[in-house]
Amino acid sequence: MTLSRRQMLYLLPTATAFVACAPKVASNPTLPNETVVDVRAFGAKGDGRKDDSAAIQAAVRAMRSGNTLYFPAGSYRFAQQRPPGDAAVAISGLSDVNIEFAPGAELLMDNLDSRTGEGTSHGIFIRGPASNITMHNVTIRWSRRAPRSFGDGIRVLGYPTGLDKPFGWVGPPAPVSRVRLSGGDIRLSPQAGAILIGVSDIAVTGLRVHGTSADGLHFNACQRATIHDYTGIDTGDDGLALVTYYSETPLFDDAAQTFAFPDLTEWSNADFTISGVSVSGGRANGVRLAGANRVSLIGLKASGILKGAGLITDSASVVGPATAWRYVASRGIRVDQMSADNCDTGFQLLARPSGPIDPRFTDFDVDLSGAAFRDCTNWAVRAESLTTQPITGFRVVDCSVSATATTEGNGGFGLGNTRDIKVGTVSISQARPVICFSATDSAGLQIDVMRLMITDPAKHETARTPAAFFEDSDGTIESLEVSWPQAPSTWTPIHIGSRDGDCSAPPEALPIVIKSLTVQPGFVMTRVGTC
């Protein structure tokens, strides 16, 4: 039976009678051209007190392809622990489905384990095969923050078609495509806010995630996605993560529900366009790109990331406590107009290769342009390999740094064990006489313009720390400008040396060639030191 708009309005004054004899599918006046499954028609109260679990699940069971699951304004408490399908809303094998939350509607997840306090289900779980899935204004809140455990706000599990069948996948392929997530707010989920796995043709706009115990928004083995106007606040892990794991053969980990590949593929979170992302606080990185392929990230704003980087792009082939997951180097990464304020590290490019030389873990392709970093306590920009295998494929078009740190990396720009790094223009302002730019074990360095300024107004008559430090490195700097108005005449602003302590090389034989050098004040006696 389908109610017309006129019939629905006529029945509204007698809501109690309507619920008692409600049809399973009704036409909702706010969505006049769609077949709507309204959770209130199945007995849901939405008062935040009554357990609406049974009513919500009955509504979900009534769903068919082409239907809309509708939550009118209200707080719908879901208290059932370990529900069928592992979610309050579990939908499998349906297409052309819409999940719509009216303004003021929320799904209140009140089903943490009474003994451990851990999560027992997801909020929404969609499994393939499916296409044309829309979730609008979805608002899910857990009753309290849980330790990291089972339960994502939204989980979508598909299948990467066109590749060899991953070991560990049971049954036929179950692809998911054309998923749209618009608006919405997810809070305090025991795991991720929203996670999409093996999904293609994705659009995420206007999503807010707060206080999750794991990542805010996570993608694994997806392709063709647009993310715009996403905010992640105080997440338990990365605010936004694009991670495709590495395995020697295609693999599906059924326990974690994640895919892994031996190389970058068209499903390695490939062809993503990300803009208008804001991440703040949290217990890891603002944004993580690991094993990603062709990603454009524009206008990222990271702030208060005190235990990680505003943006990290990393690889790992080592298996150990610090690298429980492995992933190859990302390629085709373009980061434009990024800013990071008050973070431990602003931008980090990190490789952890092991064993024989394998370019899959060392050869990146990452461009950083128009970046601004302020008050990063460790590094503003850091690119390094943690083993003897150098990394390559990092280009910085233009970058500005303002820092006040006096410990760790001093908030500046650092390279460690790199090869053929290219920098267009980098400007670094430090409030203390510390190293602004550091390069160790870095071969083939090319820098167009480097400007280093120390702004400390105090006199330091015995200052020894250079502004630019090069050790066991070689390359060319077209123009280098160093300024410290209060510098003592004995200060040496540039160090070019090696660990073996050879101090006999004449300036013309130094491995770092500086074609144009300007030092202010002019009375500084020794501009380049080797010891």
Average pLDDT over residues 69-73: 98
- Cβ atoms of residues 44 and 69 within 8 Å: no
Residue with tokens 């309507």: 18
Reported as a single tens digit per residue, the pLDDT across 188-216 is 999 999 999 999 999 999 999 999 999 99
pTM of the model: 0.91
Residue 506 phi, psi dihedral angles, 5° rounding:
-70, 160
- As a dihedral over the C-alpha atoms of residue 347, residue 352, residue 357, residue 362, rounded to 10 degrees, the angle is -20
**pLDDT at residue number 355:** 81
Q: What is the DSSP string of 91-146?
A: EES--SEEEEE-TTEEEEE----TTT---B-EEEEEESSEEEEEEES-EEEESS--
DSSP 3-state of 209: strand
Q: Using 50, 70 and 90 to split pLDDT, how confident is the model at 510?
A: confident
pLDDT above 60: residue 383 = yes
pLDDT at 490 over 60: yes
**pLDDT attached to residue 1:** 32
Q: Average pLDDT in the 387-395 region?
A: 95
Confidence of residue 462 (pLDDT cuts 50, 70, 90): confident
> How far is Cα 390 from Cα 374, in angstroms, rounded to an integer?
28
Distances (CA, A) of 25 to 63, 102, 152: 8, 18, 28
Helix, strand, coil percentages, rounded to 5, for the chain: 5, 45, 45
Q: How confident is the model at residue 127 (pLDDT cuts 50, 70, 90)?
A: very high
Give the mean model confidence (pLDDT) for residues 401-409: 80
Give percent of the chain with pLDDT exceeding 70.
90
Task: Report d(CA 504, CA 384) in Å as an integer.
Answer: 29
Most confident of 122-126, 494-498, 503-507: 122-126
Q: Does residue 508 have a pLDDT over 90?
A: no
* pLDDT confidence bin for 33, thresholds 50/70/90: very low
Q: Is the pLDDT of residue 496 over 50?
A: yes
DSSP state of 57: H
Residue 530, pLDDT score: 87
What per-residue confidence (pLDDT) applies to 368? 98
pLDDT reading at 324 higher than 80: no
